[in-house]
Structure 1
Amino acid sequence: MDGIIDVGGGPEQVPLRASDAERERVAGVLQQAFAEGRLDLDRFQERLDALWRAGTRDDLAALSRDLTPPPGAEPAPMELRAGHNARVRKEGRWPVPRRIRAVAEKDGRIHLDFTQADCRHQEVFVDATCVSNGPITLVVPRSWAVHTDAVALRGHGKVTNDTTPPTDPAAPVLRLAGVADRGRIKIRHPRK
């Protein structure tokens, strides 16, 4: 039996040592929680430090127990909101969640750059809403496929997809849905 040693007086539960692969798996859970705003920067860093000191599987489980959704449940989407001339940017190295909800309104701007991001999903779903001149810009690697047919246009809303189809059928797919109501959604590749 895994984790149980018979020492003559009945089975005794011995904590199993954590492997590097298990540490990396928990690190992914922590990064996802940070990206979704379920951990602030201080708590994220605190748990990452504890992660590499963790000796047993129980130690690792304690670091992510309150962050792991029940089996079959999908984690809440990352929420990004920019209003009244605010600017929200995600760029550089960041963990991409499976679902993102982005709302730009009243001249607020959202810029999501997936070029250097860590994406472990075959499909990424972005629910984008831009209202009252609030633009949303998505920058995707040339290897990604982009689908924008689930965006509703209202008023002078506009969706511009300047990406080219990937040559690799196994490339990640960004699926965009939402509403452009007097706002603009632009998808492009990185500038050279």
Structure 2
Amino acid sequence: MTAQPPEPSARPAPSGELRASHDDREAVVEQLRDAAAEGRIDLDELDARLEQALTSKTQAELAVLTADLPRLDSTGSQLPLVLKGGMYGASRGPGRWEVPGHVIAHGGMGGVKIDFTRVECRLKEVAVEAYGETSGVTIVIPDGWTAETSGMDPGVGGLADRTTPDRLPGAPLIRLTGSGGAGGVVIRHPSRRELRKLRSNPTPG
């Protein structure tokens, strides 16, 4: 009697084609509601996306609904922005960019600059971890924003807090922690040159 060849095993479906569970749909619904509360999408768009979320069959259909929103980790929290100076330095800003609730900066050999002057931030507080390492970290915040730096270890390079305590209503607080390392950490408002540039070109992309 001739042996029959084994039947081929079923191949797993690509992750995007996996069927969505009730928990998957509920997680997207919560993310959409949070986005609407933060002003990222309006109420009409919220209603449309919620309807699609509740009727989505696959994870790929759900993913489309949140593709233009900040990425979340497995606990539903927005992932931190991590900047590493490396050999050549790194920066974020001065253009418009998405401000998460947590930013981590490692100065490395090339240094890091974080410029908040053109952002639209609806958060009441932004946690910034700055590690000066060799070449330091510079943080620029708009006039009217304030900084809390008591949790910062100045290290060898020191901490230079050149901000003012005059906080505008609704303006974010930068809660700065970390270590100055050898390069130090500076947090300040825009310089005169930067202010002139802001006024001459107030709405860059």
Same fold (TM over 0.5): yes
Question: Which secondary structure state, in structure 1, belongs to the residue aligned with residue 107 of structure 2?
Answer: strand
Counting strand residues as a fraction of each chain, which structure ranks higher?
A: 1
Distance in 1 between residues matched to 2:178 and 2:65, nearest whole Å: 32
Distance in 1 between residues matched to 2:161 and 2:129, nearest whole Å: 16
Shift of 1:28: 4.0
Specify the alignment match of 2:180 in structure 1: 180
CA contact (8 A) 2:154 2:184 kept: no
Question: Which one has a bigger Cα radius of gyration?
Answer: 2
Structure 1 residue 160 and structure 2 residue 160: aligned?
yes
* TM-score of the superposed pair, with normalisation by structure 2: 0.60
Number of residue equivalences:
143
Change (3 A) 1:167 1:63: same
Distance in 2 between residues matched to 1:151 and 1:183, nearest whole Å: 14
Specify the alignment match of 1:58 in structure 2: 52
Specify the alignment match of 1:137 in structure 2: 138
Identical amino acids, percent of aligned pairs: 28
Per-residue CA distance 1:42-72 (angstroms, 9 max, x = gap): xxxxxxxxxx9xx6541784324584556x6
Shift of 1:83: 1.6
Question: Which secondary structure state, in structure 1, belongs to the residue aligned with residue 90 of structure 2?
Answer: strand
CA RMSD of aligned residues (A): 3.1
What are structure 1's unaligned runs of at least 5 residues? 1-20, 30-51
Distance in 2 between residues matched to 1:165 and 1:81, nearest whole Å: 29
Distance in 1 between residues matched to 2:139 and 2:160, nearest whole Å: 10
Shift of 1:123: 0.1
Change (3 A) 1:181 1:167: closer
